[in-house]
């Protein structure tokens, strides 16, 4: 992991919150910062988020996935070092000199940090790996609950696109859905 990249998110987060707040999103639920060398890339979990905080973390990792889809597949959150500052109103601003990948990753982090306080009351230690939550068992099971691959051999490739405003983008299957002018995702032809 690039230490400089981690510093971007860490400094942005710490500009508004305290270290104990950061610990509450580290290894929490299925989608918040993961242990290992790529904590910002998301977990790849395939289960519903465990609570509202995990919903926010899932949106954050989805935003990162959209950065890869929108810009190029090499736009990885751990390898991007972006610029940001706080304006005269103490608001986080992503530097306009960032390239498209850097700008997208910065906007993802900014949206997460700006909205973290909305969920500061949501923390259930039962969903923290530091308190015994088993992410591997709880977040990666197949829909039938067995975990791992089901060996179905389905190799269909889905074409994903992204929709929504900077920082809060979502991906969708463009063969069955479309992005509407208001940023919502609807079935083809229903915008």
CATH of the domain at 115: 1.20.90.10
Q: Report if pTM > 0.85.
A: no
Q: Given its phi and psi angles, is residue 185 left (phi above 0), alpha (psi -120 to 50 degrees) or beta?
A: beta
**Residue at 144 is within a domain:** no
Give me the helices (H) in 82-123, please: 100-116
Q: Are residues 12 and 93 in the same domain?
A: yes
Task: Give the chain's length.
Answer: 191
Q: Are residues 183 and 134 in the same domain?
A: no
Give the chain's domain count: 2
**Residue span of the structural domain in which 27 resides:** 3-139
Q: Are residues 123 and 173 in the same domain?
A: no
Give which of 154, 173, 139 is closest to 69, Cα–Cα: 173
Q: What is the pLDDT of residue 41?
A: 59
User: Cβ(60)–Cβ(33) under 8 Å?
Assistant: no
Q: Are residues 109 and 176 in the same domain?
A: no
**Residue at 146 is within a domain:** no
- Residue 187 three-state SS: strand
5-60 per-position pLDDT tens digit: 678 888 999 999 988 888 888 889 988 887 766 656 556 667 889 999 999 998 88
Q: What is the pLDDT of residue 156?
A: 58
**Residue at 148 is within a domain:** no
Question: Is 114 buried (19+), middle (13-18) or exposed (0-12) by CB count in 10 A?
Answer: middle
Q: Among 50-54, 121-125, 149-153, where is mean pLDDT lowest?
A: 149-153
**DSSP class of residue 143?**
T
Q: Identify the band that residue 1 occupies on the pLDDT scale cut at 50, 70 and 90.
A: very low
């Amino acid at each position: 992991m690039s230490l400089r990249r981690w510093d971007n998110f860490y400094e942005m987060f710490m500009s508004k919150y305290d270290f104990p707040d950061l610990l509450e999103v580290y290894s929490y639920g299925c989608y918040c910062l993961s242990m290992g060398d790529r904590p910002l890339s998301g977990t790849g979990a395939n289960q519903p988020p465990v609570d509202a905080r995990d919903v926010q973390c899932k949106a954050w990792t989805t935003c990162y996935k959209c950065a890869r889809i929108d810009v190029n597949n090499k736009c990885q959150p751990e390898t991007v070092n972006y610029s940001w500052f706080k304006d005269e109103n103490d608001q986080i601003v992503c530097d306009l000199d960032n390239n498209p990948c850097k700008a997208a990753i910065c906007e993802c982090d900014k949206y997460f940090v700006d909205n973290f306080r909305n969920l500061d009351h949501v923390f259930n230690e039962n969903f923290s790996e530091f308190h015994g939550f088993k992410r591997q068992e709880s977040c990666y099971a197949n829909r039938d609950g067995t975990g791992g691959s089901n060996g179905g051999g389905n190799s269909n490739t889905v074409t994903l696109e992204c929709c929504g405003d900077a920082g809060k983008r979502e991906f969708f299957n463009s063969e069955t859905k479309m992005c509407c002018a208001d940023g919502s995702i609807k079935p083809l032809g229903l915008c």
